[in-house]
């Protein structure tokens, strides 16, 4: 039995989730949307072009990023007003999560255009569900501020939250984060998830002090999702590294 899929809707902004590492982690719907859209709005066109080439997709692209998102938002709105179908993608994962796509989405909704999700990979969800920490309540913080005082204030604030805490961190500040967690969350279980879905995917579990010892032995690379257990969650569910 052959099923005819509905065409994309003109004047719609499609939020297309893309792989966070493993290129197999992309949905059939995401591929069809990328093939049938009029333009792909990418956080980094160089990065997205590799994904499109892998799946033999040829679509025009425009870039949006932190320093041009306001101008690009206007261009995207103009394209939507012309009835174009715009696929918004981030470098990896679901657009709008700790990336400039959030502003584009708000602008499209504010202008009255339809925004549709094409769901798929998300580093936050992949790390949380594999961490072994409670998932019934969690709070996503995103990236902490760069300045030390602001970072410490942010950590002190979320200390009062119930549930698992989740945040993103770069490899350049992960050691700094662990030192801060030693001060603010000394008795909590912390899970560092890195290189998710890639060949060297790793989950490192333990108290902040245990993690600091691990990082002092080996410099660990990759983008991180850091998860902090609730105050009453108990001891780590697994050994420090897995």
Domain-wise residue ranges, the chain = 12-118, 123-228
pLDDT at 236 over 50: no
Kindly state the average pLDDT of the residues 116-143: 96
Kindly state the average pLDDT of the residues 14-35: 97
Residue 242 banded pLDDT, cuts 50, 70, 90: very low
Phi-psi region at 147: left, alpha or beta (left = phi > 0; alpha = psi -120 to 50):
beta
pTM of the entire predicted model = 0.89
- Rounded CA gap, 208 and 205, in Å? 9
The strand order across the sheet containing 39-42 reads: 61-63, 39-42, 86-89, 12-16, 114-118
pLDDT at 239 over 60: no
pLDDT at 36 over 80: yes
The predicted-structure confidence for 159-193, as pLDDT tens digits, reads as follows: 989 999 999 999 999 999 999 999 999 999 999 99
pLDDT at 237 over 80: no
Write the CATH number of the domain with boundaries 123-228. Answer: 3.30.950.10
- Rounded CA gap, 63 and 44, in Å? 6
SS3 for 107?
helix
Tokens of 142: 């995103």
Q: Which residue, among 35, 48, 223, has the nearest Cα to 142 in the 3D structure?
A: 223
pLDDT at 2 over 60: no
The predicted-structure confidence for 188-216, as pLDDT tens digits, reads as follows: 999 999 999 999 899 999 999 999 998 88
The predicted-structure confidence for 80-111, as pLDDT tens digits, reads as follows: 999 999 999 999 999 999 888 899 999 999 99
Structurally, at CATH architecture level, domain 12-118 sits in: 3-Layer(aba) Sandwich (3.40)
Consecutive H or E run containing 29: helix 28-36
Contact 186, 155 (CB under 8 A): no
Contacts of 131 (CB under 8 A, 6+ apart): 164, 191, 193, 203, 205, 227
For residue 214, give the DSSP letter.
H
For residue 195, give the DSSP letter.
S
- Rounded CA gap, 164 and 140, in Å? 9
Handedness of CA 200, 205, 208, 213 (dihedral sign): negative
Counting every residue written for the chain, the total comes to 242
Residue 221 banded pLDDT, cuts 50, 70, 90: confident
What is the overall mean pLDDT for the chain? Answer: 91
Kindly state the average pLDDT of the residues 12-33: 97
Kindly state the average pLDDT of the residues 124-132: 97
Residue 232 banded pLDDT, cuts 50, 70, 90: confident
């Amino acid at each position: 039995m052959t099923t005819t899929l509905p065409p994309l809707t003109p004047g719609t902004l499609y939020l297309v989730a893309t792989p966070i590492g493993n290129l197999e982690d992309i949905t059939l719907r995401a591929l069809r949307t990328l093939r049938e859209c009029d333009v792909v709005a990418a956080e980094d066109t160089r990065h997205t072009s590799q994904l499109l080439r892998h799946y033999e997709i040829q679509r025009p692209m425009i870039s949006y990023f932190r320093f041009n998102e306001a101008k690009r938002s206007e261009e995207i709105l103009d394209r939507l007003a012309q009835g174009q179908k715009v696929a918004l993608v981030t470098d990896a994962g679901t657009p709008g999560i700790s990336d400039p796509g959030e502003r584009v989405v708000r602008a499209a909704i504010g202008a009255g255009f339809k925004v549709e999700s094409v769901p798929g990979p998300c580093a936050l969800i992949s790390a949380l569900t594999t961490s072994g920490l409670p998932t019934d309540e969690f709070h996503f913080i995103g990236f902490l501020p760069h300045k030390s005082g602001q970072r410490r204030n942010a950590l002190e604030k979320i200390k009062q939250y119930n549930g698992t805490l989740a945040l993103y961190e770069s490899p350049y500040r992960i050691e700094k984060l662990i030192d801060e967690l030693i001060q603010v969350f000394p008795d909590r279980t912390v899970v560092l998830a890195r290189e998710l879905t890639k060949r060297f995917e790793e989950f490192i579990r333990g108290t902040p002090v245990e993690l600091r010892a691990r990082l002092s032995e080996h410099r660990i690379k990759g983008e991180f999702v850091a998860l902090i257990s609730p105050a009453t969650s108990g001891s780590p569910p697994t050994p420090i590294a897995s």
